[in-house]
Structure 1
């Protein structure tokens, strides 16, 4: 049997992390699609839940999404009845975004689906290995996990 091509590349942690991330994104995207949700829609919906009511500009910064792209995502979410945009009480020239009850219910279903997809991704690891892996990812990602 011939050796797999690109052994030097395939031995790089960055390559392995990229492949793992791509597999994880695909699993989560598939799980979210079963609920009619796309990845960025899920991210924005989750951020709205955590930050609401949140000014649209602050929301975009919190998820690192370009303002034009955020408007499109919010338009989709509002048209589906998942979020509300109302004048910001702190500055009526701005919009404040909040979750509707239906948005909260869909987000709960999507979070459950995303967790199940991540369980599939990490299925080859024991519970202790999962904890260790998550700790290591947090350390090398430069985040504190919050």
Structure 2
């Protein structure tokens, strides 16, 4: 049962998410990344994403929408895109060491800012918040 008088989750979290994204933008710019570029590098660094189609599905983007981002990352030496030898219509993606360094450096700086925000919570509340955020973010859509 919902807590009476509680704002909707989107209302509570929307402002927080906008604030976090605004704090990330200058950090990403310092690393020569856009928000989508950071999302792509994170997906490639964290998992076994191999094709453009699999990447698009993993990050919830249309595969044609990310082509410009992929080209910019490739031009910057942050990813490699190679034709699949088994199907030349398919592009295989791989993060480069430079891409891995850029992503991890940006992530460390972003998380430094998050730590300042989380410092407003007690240790127990911080742990509970992070645990709840992880559980809810990992739930499949519609679950």
RMSD: 2.4
Deviations 1:73-96 (A, max 9, x none): 101101111011011244332100
1:83 aligns with 2:79: yes
Match of 1:94, SS state, is strand
In the alignment of these two chains, the number of paired residues is: 136
| TM-score, reference length from structure 1 | 0.80
1:108 aligns with 2:117: no
Relative CO higher for 1 or 2, CA cutoff 8 Å, sep ≥ 6?
A: 1
Moved more, 18-27 or 51-60: 51-60
Q: 1:67 aligns with which of 30, 38, 63?
A: 63
Q: 1:71 to 1:120 in 2, by over 3 A?
A: same
Which position in structure 2 is the counterpart of 1:35?
31
Gaps of 5+ in 1: 1-8
Q: CA deviation at 1:64?
A: 0.6
| TM-score, reference length from structure 2 | 0.81
Q: CA deviation at 1:36?
A: 1.8
